[in-house]
Structure 1
Amino acid sequence: MISKREAVWPEPATTGNLPILSSCGDFRIDFSVPTRAVPPSAAALVGSLRGVGYSLETAIADILDNSIAAGAKSIEIQWEWNDGDPVGWILDDGIGMHADRLVEAMRFGGVGPEAERTAEDLGRFGLGLKTASLSQCRQLTVVSKTASGLASFTWDLDELRRNGSGGGWDLIEGDAGLSDEIRHQLTSGKSGTLVVWRKVDFGRTSDRPSYEAFLADLARVDAHLGMVFHRFLAGDARALRITLNGSRVKAWDPFLENDTSVIRTPEQDIAGPGGRVRVRGFVLPHRDRFRNEIDFENAGGPDGWTAQQGFYVYRHRRLLSAGGWLGLGGSRAWTRDETSRLARIRIDIPNTADHDWRIDVRKAIARPPDAIRRPLQRIAEDVRRKAREVFVHRGQYGSRRKAAGVSRIWQVNPEGAKRRYTVQRDHEFVELIKGRTDKTGRDLLEGLLDLIERTVPVDRVWLDVTEHGVPDQQVDGSELLTAALAMARMMERAGLDSREAVARLARMDPYDKVEDLEEKLMRKLRGAKR
């Protein structure tokens, strides 16, 4: 029997044994099992990490996060085709790193995701520099400059493989024969960091891009960086200059904040796990409100209008998630549909909320915590409703013309109604015809309208929009003016005064889209009578 005096907590085993402590009342007994250290194979683990899912553009964006955290004001990105053996490098003018600090930066995992970070820190997992780089190349060299001089280290996947499955994490000291032309990029500044990718294979075994595909990849990089860092490039955050092969990367603002026709909802603060988030909705202008087709296409974004709708999640003004509805929408999650494509919502989260928002390694996916899904959905419902109004009414939402009442021939009925789409029976044209025909004529008109309502090709329209997008609905002013003139003359023959006919047409969809319609119609009607 073991006495109470003998039942004490054992000292933890220092090697070879894992203590398993069991207690029963006042007695505690130590059962130990043998253990064995199983360190991961460096070559195998790094090879697996290459498949995390980075694209070239997301990988480069992850490297730029480190430059921003280092206080960089200027970042140069250079890519050379090099006869099918591409080389890429990224140079910043940040504070740089001394040798010991650079070793830690090259360590997989770094300080880990649980470490407390400054508000300026855009990292989290301690993997970005290494995983992003090695997803695209097999040799990563980092050279950094401080007042104490230069320090450089290299990861080489081929060297790790040569060491075999039992090989260690052997970081190469030095730059592994980096060319003087690239190394000298650091000499002009007081401090900075140079990240060089060699043995570039873009994470592929044998499917290497052609020169044309390589140029297309760089175009995607340019567009992606302009979107992800647009608040830095435009001065909303700390000013930053980024160049790609000598050309300055331009900011792409998803919200067109300088456009006065954008509808903005009030900014709202929502308390959530990890800290408060700020949310604001934007409804972008209808296509008819843009000056030209180029401006319209640019506002659509890198992936186009339909794909770019939805939430934009930022951490310290760096874009994490661009578009999509974050799985909101109740039992049936919202999809990116044509009628809500003008809706975009900005969310700013603190970097203390990374865990709760489940930010992934690539910083490309964010998922809202359950505690704030309901308020986010309420905000999104309001923004989506406003966006549908603008989309359907072709930019007339909230305008004086709409407030005065635009006459529309079609009426959209609520769900559950016998028919979803019906012709307005009190429309000016309908009433005009009814008032100038006998009962037989009125019955024939009613039969015609009933037939039209029963045969609205909803399924066909929906399929066409899904497959081909919304048809071009740009206003052709001259065509509408000609149609309106013909209608005005018919209304005159029906007994209406010219001014009354023109006034009715000016309030009628789609003729209300023509600028100065009343003046133009009256001028043509008077000219015809002379």
Structure 2
Amino acid sequence: MKTRTVPPVAGALIGSLRGVGYSLEAAVADLIDNSITAGAGAVSLNLSWNEGSPIASIFDDGTGMSEDRLVEAMRFGGTGPNVARTTSDLGRFGLGLKTASFSQCRNLTVVSKTREGQAAFTWDIDFLAETGTGWRLIEGDDRLAPGLKIDLDNHATGTLVVWRKIDFGRKDDCPSHASFKRDLARLDRHLGMVFHRYLDGDASSLSIRLNGSHVKAWDPFLEGRSVPTPNQPIQSPGGKILFRGFVLPYQDRFATKEEFEDAGGPNGWLLQQGFYVYRLKRLIYSGGWLGLGGARGWTRDEASKLARLRIDIPNTADLDWQIDIKKSEARPPESIRQRLQQLADDVRRRAREILVHRGEYGRRSAASGVSKIWKVNSESSSRRYSVDRSHPLIAAFRKKLSGERQALLDSIFTLIERTVPVERVWLDVSEKGVDTTLPDDAELVGSALDLARILERNGLPFAEAVSSIQQMDPFDSVQNLREKLLLLDRAKQ
């Protein structure tokens, strides 16, 4: 068989790999994967604006690499996806360090230190373009500013990655200082989400500092405050996975608006609903429904925004879960999709119930006796939503009316029911979400007091009126409403 060796042109291939599609935050996360695999307990990131010519350095205190190992780490595809890995290895393709770095910069230097010595190498895209087609790796770190190596000099072992000629993968569209600062804020939030189980100590303990400030973990599941489902082990191609669902608290369970918004995550409540897929407790897929839900597929909707689901997969399942180079996408194997859909459907149903009943499903169920103005009728009914004519307030008012006026009141209710702006409400919720904040207690107590006095004037003793009102939605949400109303009544007397 006649063959011919056709090696790729170095500069051209690297230039093509720059278009893989990494964001800044995904690129940095890929480098931190290497730090975790190296046993690092601390990672320090420094990104400097440098008067419009940004420089980035990422240092970890891991075991470091010998010269030979570092050469292999700098080799493109040095270890492919089919090489056997340890159970703690977060890598896969042997491309992450290079493709992640070159998606953001044109000059990559890695300096690594073991107890036996130190080695350094640099890939420079412009140098490769100038010198032809070869793969010429620059040795040494003599071109590196001494200040960048302070952390490495102060540790017995570790690895330093430096990005220079940063252009964020763009040709002419240079970011402004303001957009650079926004990128850093987004990076902070992203790292807090992707590595939250490491930062919280659920995995091997890790601290991450970004420009001197500690990155804070963001737990998508609010464990300890949410309602979890039991752990469900599932036998899957590539190894056993573990599923667990969480229904998050309703909005009024948060102390402040800021706390509620923080719980929504980097992209907000609507976009952060759904599945979270972890590979060795490192987040791969954050929010969305993995294409489940039948032919049309579930979408991120308001009704399911309190549903979040965790899946843990081993690193032996990469191929079957179609983990991509950026480690930001995943797709479950066909053999377990139906089981995942069943489990997810249950969590979505629970989340919808919490949302409909304002976080008080158990206390606000029909058996609890809480009175609601609106009824949701069956699909076969002529009107999906109707005013409950048996509501205590409506019933009390009707008793005082003549037959003709009762008929007029019923006609008004019918008109209201037939003109509920369902389409408008649906559109507003889809576009803007829904403000589910209840009125504050003072406003509700004031309204309840007015209603109690009206009922009293119509012949119902004040104490009985109070007992009836405290069983009505939304007054049942006020703590000690009866005591507050009776105290206000006594003060009036």
Structure-2-length-normalised TM-score: 0.97
SS in 2 for 1:45: helix
| 1:387-418 residue CA offsets vs partner (Å, 9 max, x unmatched) | 11222222212248875232111112343432
Question: Are 2:98 and 1:134 aligned?
Answer: no
Structure 1 letter corresponding to 2:258: I
Match of 2:59 in 1: 91
Question: Are 2:148 and 1:182 aligned?
Answer: yes
Asked if structure 1 preserves the Cα contact closer than 8 Å seen for 2:231 and 2:244, the reply is yes
Q: Number of residues paired by the alignment?
A: 493
Identity of aligned residues (%): 59
Q: Distance in 2 between matches of 1:413 and 1:355?
A: 48
Match of 1:47 in 2: 15
Q: Distance in 2 between matches of 1:311 and 1:426?
A: 42
Match of 2:202 in 1: 236
Match of 1:171 in 2: 137
Q: Distance in 2 between matches of 1:503 and 1:98?
A: 77
* Correspondence list, 1:331-350, <5 A: 331-350=295-314
SS in 1 for 2:361: coil
Structure 2 letter corresponding to 1:163: T
Question: Are 2:336 and 1:368 aligned?
Answer: no
Q: Distance in 1 between matches of 2:157 and 2:34?
A: 14
Match of 2:318 in 1: 354
- Compared with structure 1, are the counterparts of its residues 200 and 406 closer, same or farther at alpha carbon in structure 2 (3 Å cutoff)? same
Match of 2:406 in 1: 442
Match of 1:248 in 2: 214
SS in 2 for 1:275: coil
Deviates more, 1:127-136 or 1:382-391: 382-391
Of 484, 496, 505, the match for 2:460: 496
Q: Distance in 2 between matches of 1:215 and 1:494?
A: 64
Deviates more, 1:40-49 or 1:133-142: 40-49
SS in 1 for 2:193: helix
Of 136, 144, 153, the match for 2:112: 144
Q: Distance in 2 between matches of 1:36 and 1:332?
A: 49
Q: Distance in 1 between matches of 2:414 and 2:240?
A: 54
SS in 2 for 1:305: helix
SS in 1 for 2:297: coil
Q: Distance in 1 between matches of 2:186 and 2:476?
A: 41
Structure 2 letter corresponding to 1:188: N
Q: Distance in 1 between matches of 2:383 and 2:363?
A: 29
Q: Distance in 2 between matches of 1:304 and 1:368?
A: 24
Structure-1-length-normalised TM-score: 0.90
Q: Structure 1: where are the runs of 5+ without partners?
A: 1-16, 18-33
Runs of 4+ in 1 over 4 A off after TM superposition: 400-403
| 1:81-123 residue CA offsets vs partner (Å, 9 max, x unmatched) | 1111111011111111101111111111122001111111011
Question: Are 2:275 and 1:311 aligned?
Answer: yes
Asked if structure 2 preserves the Cα contact closer than 8 Å seen for 1:288 and 1:475, the reply is no
Q: Distance in 1 between matches of 2:271 and 2:117?
A: 47
SS in 2 for 1:363: coil
Structure 1 letter corresponding to 2:269: W
Deviates more, 1:301-310 or 1:440-449: 440-449
Deviates more, 1:222-231 or 1:339-348: 339-348
| 1:243-274 residue CA offsets vs partner (Å, 9 max, x unmatched) | 01111111111111132xx2111111111111
Deviation at 1:472, TM superposition (A): 5.4
Asked if structure 1 preserves the Cα contact closer than 8 Å seen for 2:231 and 2:242, the reply is yes
Structure 1 letter corresponding to 2:342: R
Asked if structure 2 preserves the Cα contact closer than 8 Å seen for 1:65 and 1:122, the reply is yes
* RMSD (Å), alpha carbons: 1.6
Asked if structure 2 preserves the Cα contact closer than 8 Å seen for 1:154 and 1:176, the reply is no
Q: Distance in 1 between matches of 2:359 and 2:380?
A: 28
Match of 1:324 in 2: 288
Q: Distance in 2 between matches of 1:264 and 1:399?
A: 19
Q: Distance in 1 between matches of 2:419 and 2:147?
A: 71
| 1:273-315 residue CA offsets vs partner (Å, 9 max, x unmatched) | 1111111111111111111111111111111111111111101
Question: Are 2:170 and 1:214 aligned?
Answer: no
* Correspondence list, 1:64-143, <5 A: 64-143=32-111
Deviates more, 1:500-509 or 1:390-399: 390-399
Q: Distance in 2 between matches of 1:493 and 1:198?
A: 80
Deviation at 1:525, TM superposition (A): 2.6
* Correspondence list, 1:393-408, <5 A: 393-399=357-363, 404-408=368-372
Deviation at 1:335, TM superposition (A): 1.2
- Compared with structure 1, are the counterparts of its residues 414 and 54 closer, same or farther at alpha carbon in structure 2 (3 Å cutoff)? farther
| 1:449-502 residue CA offsets vs partner (Å, 9 max, x unmatched) | 211111000011112222322135243211111111111112222322222211
Greater fraction of residues in helix: 2
Structure 1 letter corresponding to 2:42: S
Of 201, 217, 227, the match for 2:167: 201
Asked if structure 1 preserves the Cα contact closer than 8 Å seen for 2:111 and 2:119, the reply is yes
SS in 2 for 1:51: helix
SS in 1 for 2:336: helix
Asked if structure 1 preserves the Cα contact closer than 8 Å seen for 2:251 and 2:436, the reply is no
